[in-house]
Amino acid sequence: MTTTTAELDALTAAAAAAAPVWRAADAATRASWLRAAADTLDAHLDELVAIADEETRLGETRLRGEVGRTTGQLRLFATVVEEGSYLELTVDDADPSAAVPRPELRRMLTGVGPVAVFSASNFPFAFSVAGGDTASALAAGNPVIVKAHSGHPRLSKRTAELVSAALVQAGAPEGSLGLVEGREAGNALVQHPVIQAAGFTGSLGGGRALFDLASGRPDPIPFYGELGSVNPVVITPAAVAARGEALAQGLVGSFTLGVGQFCTKPGVVFVPAGAGFEALVASFAAGASGGPLLTERITEAFPSGVAHLESDPSVAVVAQGAEAEPGSAQPVVLSTDAAAVAARPETLLEECFGPVTLLVRYSSQDELHAALEAVPGSLTATLHAEESDDVAAVLEVLTRKAGRVLFAGWPTGVAVTWSQHHGGPWPATTSLHTSVGATAIRRFLRPVVFQDAPAALLPEVLRDESLARLPHRRNGVLQVP
């Protein structure tokens, strides 16, 4: 089913009417609306999980946990709104005696206006209708119109019905949350003049196409896309010697988690040649199970993605997991060498969605560094080393390549916190911002300065009586109530 042009126009008109109400709502009110949405999702947990499992086959345990993450995000952003530092309130008092006389300037961040959000296939709750993009956009004071993912249409509709009704019942205006369906409607949504920003999680090809549409508008808008990531891992010889078996087991658990459909899956792993790590991985991978993939399109793409990697003459199959049922994906571990990666990154460093990882042997630090420089921007980078290792140069490269650098554990799993960053250089994301954590709100805000404004005409948060209760900077000095 595709949303018609008339239906899209009605949704955008309602969002445009709702935008001033959201922007003007005080912190307590806006936070209460976010918590009402979270409470409603929790209250309908059983119903929503049943629909999601039918459509995605992700399993009840995983889906229940994801609902908890989703409602947790909404409640986190309620506290972000109440705390107030996200507004970046800044005051410079007038100084007529300055060499260049200075007026009074009061600066804040405010919502950009209606936001388009494009749902992801692999997280039907946490990156979908009421997921992190929607939560952060609402928290910033903007209505949202979501483009439903074709992989879970019934869940998208029901979630939108519940959250939209909960917002209105809590006092938010009609038009606070809308839903469109179909690729054509999604394209039209990002080009609609009412929409002022867009958030996307999905494929590089799909994201790039929408990015170009957003940039090609008569009035270009910011497009915050999370597109693709190979999430490099570097393991030193000392780390293999100290804990090789545990590292091999951890890697297999991570690249097969969710049947390899996490955006933070470790897709390329640099391992010391001759250290025996490949054999250790093979011993654990042999018993690893795969499973059904999220959509028919992903299911069809996985074998061709693996075949693309195997087409390189340097690539060999290290191990395969337990034999999969028809229509399911079988885990596979491949190997190559650092010289091949440095020479042919367009083949060997292309993201393959599903349970596959590529082990890259390196024989020297020079080989490792040359190959690492070929790695595209990623969401994460992981370094497993020992205290005796000199890894400063490796760390410098990984920090340039990724938005989150790990020194223990594996990258699958993203904590939703104030300090989290889920983004990275192109093609991981199209911007410098995060899609997870408190600062995700910054994507959907714009600065505005009031010069010599009468106090009665200032937004309430910029008046002195409000500033006394909120974090702000005055004349360059941070003020924390």
Confidence (pLDDT) at 435: 96
What is the predicted pLDDT for the residue at 356? Answer: 97
Our answer to whether residue 55 is catalytic in this structure is no
Asked if residue 104 has pLDDT above 90, the reply is yes
Tell whether the torsion through CA atoms of 96, 99, 101 and 106 is positive or negative.
Answer: negative
Is residue 215 very low, low, confident or very high in pLDDT (cuts 50, 70, 90)? Answer: very high
> Whole-number mean pLDDT of the chain?
96
Please report, to the nearest 10 degrees, the dihedral formed by the alpha carbons of residues 37, 39, 40, 44 taken in order. 140
Tell me: pLDDT of 174 over 90. Answer: yes
What Å distances lie between residue 242 and 234, 237, 336, 386, CA to CA? 15, 9, 24, 8
Q: Is 66 a catalytic residue?
A: no
HSE-CB at 289 with a 13 A cutoff on CA atoms is 3
pLDDT of 109-151, one tens digit each?
999 999 999 999 999 999 999 999 999 999 999 999 999 999 9
Cα–Cα distance for residue pair 372/225, rounded to 1 Å:
24
**DSSP for residue 287:** T
Quick check: 36 pLDDT over 90? yes
pLDDT at 327 over 80: no
Distances (CA, A) of 24 to 27, 212, 240: 9, 32, 56
Q: Is residue 52 predicted with pLDDT exceeding 90?
A: yes
Angstrom distance (rounded) from CA 247 to CA 283: 12
> Contact, 305 vs 349, CB < 8 A?
no
pLDDT at 323: 81
Mean pLDDT, rounded, for 445-473: 97
Average pLDDT of the segment spanning 286-301: 89
Token readout for 273 is 């040649």
pLDDT given at position 459: 97
Which tens digit of pLDDT belongs to each residue from 59-92?
A: 999 999 999 999 999 999 999 999 999 999 999 9
At 243, the pLDDT band (50, 70, 90 cuts) reads very high
pLDDT, position 380: 98
Q: Return the half-sphere exposure (C-beta side, CA atoms, 13 A cut-off) of residue 207.
A: 23
What pLDDT shows up at residue 1? Answer: 80
- pLDDT beyond 90 at 41: yes
Which of 226, 278, 351, 367 is flagged as catalytic?
Answer: 226
Q: What is the pLDDT of residue 325?
A: 80
The pLDDT of residue 304 is above 80: yes
Please list, in sequence order, all residues whose beta carbon lies within 8 angstroms of the beta carbon of residue 58, skipping any fewer than 6 positions away: 52, 66, 124, 258, 294
The catalytic position among 55, 66, 263, 351 is: 263
More confident residue, 163 or 296: 163
pLDDT above 90 coverage of the chain, percent = 94
Going by the DSSP 8-state scheme, the letter that residue 383 receives in this structure is: E
Q: From CA 397, how far away is CA 394, in angstroms rounded?
A: 5
Whether omega for the bond prior to residue 459 falls within 30 degrees of 0, making it cis, is: no
pLDDT confidence bin for 328, thresholds 50/70/90: confident
Domains (range + CATH), the chain? 5-227+429-479 (3.40.605.10), 233-406 (3.40.309.10)
pLDDT tens for 414-458 read 999 999 999 999 999 999 999 999 999 999 999 999 999 999 999
* pLDDT at position 324 over 80: no
What is residue 266's predicted lDDT score, i.e. its pLDDT?
Answer: 97
